[in-house]
Structure 1
Amino acid sequence: MKPSTIIAHLGEDRKKNHGAVVAPIYQNSLFTFESADAIDDAFSKFETAYIYTRGNNPTVTLLEEKVAALEHGEACKFFASGMSAISASIFSFVEACDHIICIDSVYGPTSNFISEYLGKKFKIQVTYVKGDDLEEIKSATQSNTKLIYLESPSSGIYACQDLKLIADYAKSKGIHTIIDNTWASPMFQNPLDFGIDVVVHSASKYLSGHSDVVAGCVVASKAIITKIFKEEHQFIGGKIAPFEAWLITRGLRTLPIRMERHEKSTEKVIAFLKTHKKVKSILYPNNNPIAQKQMRGYGGLFSIVLDTDGQGARDFIDRLNLFCIGVSWGGFESLAYAPIISLSKEMSKEKLEASGIHPGLIRLYIGLEDAEDLIADLKSALDMIN
Structure 2
Amino acid sequence: MPNEFFDQARQPLIEGFIESLQNATGVKVLHRRHAAGIDRGVDLLLTMDTPDGNWDVAVEIKRAVYPRDIRDALEALQRYGAENAEKRNATTIIPMVIAEKISQGAREELKNSGAGYYDASGSLYFRHERWLINIDRPAAASARKTQRVPLFSGAKEMVVHALLHSKGEWFTGLELAERSETSVFTVSSVLQELELREWVESEGSGRLLRRRLCRARDLLDAWAEAWQQRKENRSNWYFFSSNPRQLLENLARKAPKSSSASWAFTGAIAANYLSPLLTQVDLAELETLPGTQAQLADALGLKPAEKGNNVVLIERSGAGMLFRRHDPHSGAWLASEFIQYLDLQDGRGRNAELATQLRHDILKV
Question: What TM-score, normalized to structure 1?
Answer: 0.24
Question: Which structure has the higher relative contact order (CA within 8 Å, separation 6+)?
Answer: 1
Question: What TM-score, normalized to structure 2?
Answer: 0.25
Name the structure with the higher strand share. Answer: 2
